[in-house]
Amino acid sequence: MLRTFRFRLPATRELAPVLAAVALALALGLPHLDWGLPAIEEEAVPAKKALEMWGFAEGRLQLDPDTAGWPAFSFYAQLALQHVQYGLGRLAGTYAHRLDYWLAWQLDPSAMILWGRTLSVLLFAAVAGLGAMAGRRVAGLPGAWTTGLLLAAAPLTVRHARLVGPDAWVTFFTAVAVLALLDLLAHGRRRDYILAAAAIGLGAASKYTPGLLAISLFLVHLERRRFEGVSLKWLGLDDRRLWLAALTCVVVFAAATPTTLLDLDVLQRDVGAQTEHMERGHFGQQSGPGIIHYLNKSLPMALGWPAYLAALAGLVLARFRPEARVVIWCVLPLVLVLGALGTHFDRYMLPVLPALALGPGLLLGAVGLVWPRVSRGGVLAAVVVVLVAMPVIASVKLVADQGRPGTR
Q: Please spell the DSSP secondary structure of 78-132, one letter per residue.
A: HHHHHHHHHHHHHHHTS-SSHHHHHHHHHH-THHHHHHHHHHHHHHHHHHHHHHH
Band (pLDDT 50/70/90 cuts) for residue 5 is very low
**Domain residue extents for the chain:** 45-113, 138-159+166-260+287-397
Cβ atoms 230, 369 nearer than 8 A: no
* Alpha-carbon span 381 to 188, nearest angstrom: 34
* Alpha-carbon span 282 to 299, nearest angstrom: 20
Q: Which amino acid is at 388?
A: V
Residue predicted with more confidence, 284 or 54: 54
* Alpha-carbon span 364 to 372, nearest angstrom: 9
Strands (E), 234-383: none
Q: Based on C-alpha coordinates, what's the Rg of the chain?
A: 22
DSSP 8-state class, residue 403: T
pLDDT tens profile 167-193 = 999 999 999 999 999 999 999 999 999
Q: What is the largest CA-CA distance in the chain?
A: 69
Cis amide leading into 372 (omega within 30): no
Residue 379 pLDDT greater than 50, yes or no: yes
Q: What's the rounded mean pLDDT across residues 311-318?
A: 95
Q: Please spell the DSSP secondary structure of 2-23, one letter per residue.
A: -------PPPHHHHHHHHHHHH
Share of the chain above pLDDT 90, in %: 71
Q: SS3 of 70, please? A: coil
Task: Round the average pLDDT of the chain to a whole number and report it.
Answer: 90
Please report which residue ranges of 162-263 form alpha helices under DSSP H.
167-187, 190-206, 213-227, 240-256, 258-262
pLDDT of 177 = 98
Residue predicted with more confidence, 42 or 2: 42
* Alpha-carbon span 51 to 36, nearest angstrom: 20
pTM comes to 0.92
